[in-house]
């Protein structure tokens, strides 16, 4: 087994001094951390005499690699193309169903764009909740192959939905033209065949040690009971985590109040009744949760992935992070789609995690930098069921080294606070995934970056044309969706999730 010694860095330990972490040597054997030792330990000397690879880490912070617990690779090429639109209008431009089958080169390029940005920002694991259009083995294999090639850890799920129609459909005008109705309704799918497809992939695909399965209903409101129960059963049989979108938008809350009458109008109560709310389940977003639902998530041991960038950019409001923390819910962090957060950067997500909690209350909330770091590391690993997120013996060797000579760290008063409030990602120098160095001196070791930039350029000409065509074709629906959105935001939802200036 290959051996690696990361010598003399300050090693992040949430139970130690978070402002001035101790200097340690980290020994890696194969894909696991073998030991974390104080300088001068005889075991380190013994390893070094055996000529392992040595990374000199003096002046560096050795962090567990960040876990980006919510992401979608399918629309990564849309980065920077959209702004100032609410969720349902954004969806008109980005949903994979509007684009149909894409070229092999484009699928590879979009996976690599997202994954490379993750790695360069110190993210070693990404959860790709992938709508997989078309739902076929070729698209799945191309996607997983690109993740494997770049060397990032991926927890992959096929996002399933068998119920057509946008979440906001109940609030559309009654006199909606048929042409617009056809655009926003989409077509339903068959639960049994969707379940069979995923089950077949679990058996067929031989995953490398950097790849893992998860299961994803796209959202409870987008799935039949048959599909949700089938996924709960599959998760139990294969011991897989479930991650699903829950109460991301005000329209989803308004719709839940209408369709889950038997469960007090609560999507979360409905999930609990189906057995979908448990320790293996993580809810993405949860912006529009009420107190009762926060309590249910906590009492069932489920977790929540906070996605502050996309929540703000898509005008969905602010998730109740300080109350979720107070309830003891396992919190993770995600950067979500490149089409609505425009970056894969956990430093931005961690900063917003703290600042949004601060901006939601005139008094101390108890949400501090170490909470954001925990969500971005161990919380994400726990949510996705992977043995990572900490620099301790036995964990997967997923690490990132940050250069502490960068101006963000000068003067160095607190590693925890400066990581969250000062570092931008610029200091990320070395990234290790599963014991393999995938970024060295800020350069990928797995992919030729210049060649990839050229490949991407070649793909983008066609993609930009298709993006413009989808936007043109769906433009007629936008005014109706904006009117529906105004109806929703003026409706009585019982809670408020916007910061009022
Ligand atoms: Zn999402």
Give tens-digit pLDDT for 437-486.
Answer: 999 999 999 999 999 999 999 999 999 999 999 999 999 999 999 999 99
Closest CA to 388 of 423, 431, 452: 431
Is the model's pLDDT at 11 over the cut of 80? yes
How wide is the angle at C-alpha 489 spanned by C-alphas 486 and 493, nearest 5°?
150
Taking the centre of ligand 1 as the mean of its atom positions, its distance from the CA of residue 464, in whole angstroms, is 22
Taking the centre of ligand 1 as the mean of its atom positions, its distance from the CA of residue 460, in whole angstroms, is 23
Is the model's pLDDT at 113 over the cut of 90? yes
Taking the centre of ligand 1 as the mean of its atom positions, its distance from the CA of residue 41, in whole angstroms, is 45
pLDDT for the residue 501? 67
The DSSP bridge partners found for residue 54 are 5
Within a 13 Å sphere around the CA of 43, how many CA atoms are in the beta-carbon half?
14
Residue 182: pLDDT band (50, 70, 90) is confident
Residue 169: pLDDT band (50, 70, 90) is confident
The DSSP bridge partners found for residue 160 are 217
Mean pLDDT of 66-78: 98
Taking the centre of ligand 1 as the mean of its atom positions, its distance from the CA of residue 305, in whole angstroms, is 10
Taking the centre of ligand 1 as the mean of its atom positions, its distance from the CA of residue 340, in whole angstroms, is 10
Taking the centre of ligand 1 as the mean of its atom positions, its distance from the CA of residue 94, in whole angstroms, is 12
What SS3 string covers 346-385? Answer: HHHHHHHHHHHHHHCCCCCCCCCHHHHHHHHHHHHHHHHC
Mean pLDDT of 39-52: 95
Closest CA to 255 of 226, 219, 292: 219
Taking the centre of ligand 1 as the mean of its atom positions, its distance from the CA of residue 435, in whole angstroms, is 29
Residue 422, number of CB atoms within 10 A of its CB: 18
Distance CA 273, CA 87 (A): 28
Taking the centre of ligand 1 as the mean of its atom positions, its distance from the CA of residue 129, in whole angstroms, is 7
Say if residue 71 is preceded by a cis peptide, omega within 30 of 0.
no
The DSSP bridge partners found for residue 187 are none
Taking the centre of ligand 1 as the mean of its atom positions, its distance from the CA of residue 413, in whole angstroms, is 36
Is the model's pLDDT at 187 over the cut of 90? no
Percent of the chain with pLDDT over 70: 100
Structural contact between residues 457 and 463, judged by C-beta atoms closer than 8 angstroms: no
Taking the centre of ligand 1 as the mean of its atom positions, its distance from the CA of residue 213, in whole angstroms, is 17
Taking the centre of ligand 1 as the mean of its atom positions, its distance from the CA of residue 72, in whole angstroms, is 6
Structural contact between residues 336 and 349, judged by C-beta atoms closer than 8 angstroms: no
DSSP string covering 283-294: EEE-TT--HHHH
Taking the centre of ligand 1 as the mean of its atom positions, its distance from the CA of residue 4, in whole angstroms, is 36
Q: What is the DSSP letter of 65?
A: P
Tell me which of 31-40, 50-59, 163-172, 379-388 is least confident.
163-172
Taking the centre of ligand 1 as the mean of its atom positions, its distance from the CA of residue 285, in whole angstroms, is 8
The DSSP bridge partners found for residue 245 are 284
Is the model's pLDDT at 500 over the cut of 80? no
Q: What is the DSSP letter of 417?
A: H
Structural contact between residues 168 and 489, judged by C-beta atoms closer than 8 angstroms: no
Taking the centre of ligand 1 as the mean of its atom positions, its distance from the CA of residue 313, in whole angstroms, is 13
Q: At what angle do helices 478-490 and 87-94 cross, to 10 degrees?
A: 150
Mean pLDDT of 44-72: 97
Q: Residues 365-377: pLDDT tens digits? A: 999 999 999 999 9
Taking the centre of ligand 1 as the mean of its atom positions, its distance from the CA of residue 36, in whole angstroms, is 36
Q: Average model confidence (pLDDT) for the chain?
A: 96
Taking the centre of ligand 1 as the mean of its atom positions, its distance from the CA of residue 465, in whole angstroms, is 25
Taking the centre of ligand 1 as the mean of its atom positions, its distance from the CA of residue 39, in whole angstroms, is 43
Taking the centre of ligand 1 as the mean of its atom positions, its distance from the CA of residue 128, in whole angstroms, is 9
Mean pLDDT of 117-128: 98
Taking the centre of ligand 1 as the mean of its atom positions, its distance from the CA of residue 71, in whole angstroms, is 6
Is the model's pLDDT at 210 over the cut of 80? yes
Interstrand relation of 60-64 and 66-71 (parallel, antiparallel or unpaired) = unpaired
Taking the centre of ligand 1 as the mean of its atom positions, its distance from the CA of residue 46, in whole angstroms, is 47
Is the model's pLDDT at 184 over the cut of 90? no
Taking the centre of ligand 1 as the mean of its atom positions, its distance from the CA of residue 245, in whole angstroms, is 6
Q: What is the DSSP letter of 27?
A: E
Q: Residues 279-297: pLDDT tens digits? A: 999 999 999 999 999 999 9
| CB within 8 Å of 342: residues ≥ 6 apart | 79, 80, 309, 313
Distance CA 438, CA 445 (A): 5
Taking the centre of ligand 1 as the mean of its atom positions, its distance from the CA of residue 405, in whole angstroms, is 36
Question: What are 26-29's contacts with CB under 8 Å, separation 24+?
Answer: 26/57, 26/62, 26/391, 26/399, 27/3, 28/3, 28/4, 28/397, 28/432, 28/435, 29/1, 29/2, 29/3, 29/4, 29/435
Is the model's pLDDT at 70 over the cut of 90? yes
pLDDT for the residue 142? 98
Enter the pTM of the model: 0.98
Taking the centre of ligand 1 as the mean of its atom positions, its distance from the CA of residue 178, in whole angstroms, is 29
Mean pLDDT of 84-103: 95
pLDDT for the residue 85? 96
Taking the centre of ligand 1 as the mean of its atom positions, its distance from the CA of residue 411, in whole angstroms, is 38
Closest CA to 324 of 273, 363, 378, 379: 379
Taking the centre of ligand 1 as the mean of its atom positions, its distance from the CA of residue 382, in whole angstroms, is 18
Mean pLDDT of 114-137: 97
């Amino acid at each position: 087994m290959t051996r690696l010694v990361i010598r003399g860095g300050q090693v992040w330990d949430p139970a130690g001094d978070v402002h001035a972490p101790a200097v340690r040597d980290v020994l890696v054997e194969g894909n696991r951390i073998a030991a974390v030792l104080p300088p001068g330990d005889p075991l380190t000397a013994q390893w070094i005499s055996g000529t392992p690879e040595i990374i000199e880490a003096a002046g560096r912070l050795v962090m567990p690699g960040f876990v980006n617990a919510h992401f979608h690779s399918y629309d990564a090429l849309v980065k920077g193309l959209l702004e100032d639109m609410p969720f349902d209008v954004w969806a008109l431009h980005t949903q994979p169903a509007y684009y149909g089958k894409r070229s092999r080169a484009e699928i590879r390029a979009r996976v690599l764009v997202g994954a490379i940005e993750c790695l360069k920002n110190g993210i070693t694991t990404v959860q790709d909740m992938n709508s997989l259009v078309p739902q076929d083995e070729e698209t799945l294999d191309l996607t997983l192959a690109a993740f494997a090639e770049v060397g990032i850890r991926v927890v992959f799920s096929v996002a399933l939905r068998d119920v057509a129609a946008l979440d906001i459909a109940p609030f559309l005008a009654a006199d909606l033209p048929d042409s617009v109705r056809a655009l926003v309704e989409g077509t339903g799918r068959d639960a049994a065949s969707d379940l069979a497809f995923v089950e077949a992939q679990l058996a067929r695909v031989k995953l490398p040690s950097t790849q893992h399965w998860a299961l994803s209903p796209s959202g409870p409101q987008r799935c039949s009971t048959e599909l949700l129960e089938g996924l709960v059963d599959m998760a139990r049989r294969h011991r897989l985590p479930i991650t699903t979108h829950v109460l991301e938008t005000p329209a989803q809350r308004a719709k839940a109040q209408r369709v889950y009458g038997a469960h007090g109008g609560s999507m979360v109560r409905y999930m609990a009744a189906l057995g979908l709310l448990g320790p293996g389940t993580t809810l993405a977003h949860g912006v529009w949760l009420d107190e009762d639902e926060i309590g249910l998530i906590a009492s069932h041991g489920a977790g929540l992935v906070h996605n502050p960038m996309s929540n703000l950019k898509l005008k969905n409001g602010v998730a109740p992070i300080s109350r979720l923390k107070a309830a003891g819910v396992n919190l993770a962090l995600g950067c979500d789609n490149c089409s609505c957060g425009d970056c894969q950067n956990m430093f931005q997500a961690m900063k917003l995690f703290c600042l949004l909690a601060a901006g939601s209350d005139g008094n101390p909330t108890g949400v501090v930098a170490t909470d954001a770091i925990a969500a971005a590391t161990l919380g994400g690993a726990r949510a996705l069921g992977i043995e990572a997120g900490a620099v301790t013996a036995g964990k997967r060797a997923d690490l990132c080294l940050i250069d502490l000579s960068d101006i963000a760290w000068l003067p160095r008063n607190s590693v925890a606070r400066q990581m969250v409030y000062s570092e931008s990602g610029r200091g990320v120098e070395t990234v290790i995934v599963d014991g393999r160095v995938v970024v060295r001196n800020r350069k990928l070791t797995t992919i030729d970056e210049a060649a990839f930039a050229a490949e991407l350029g070649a793909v983008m000409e066609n993609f930009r044309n298709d993006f413009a065509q989808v936007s043109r074709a769906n433009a007629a629906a936008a005014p109706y969706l904006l009117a529906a959105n105004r109806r929703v935001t003026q409706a009585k939802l019982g809670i408020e999730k916007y910061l009022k200036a």
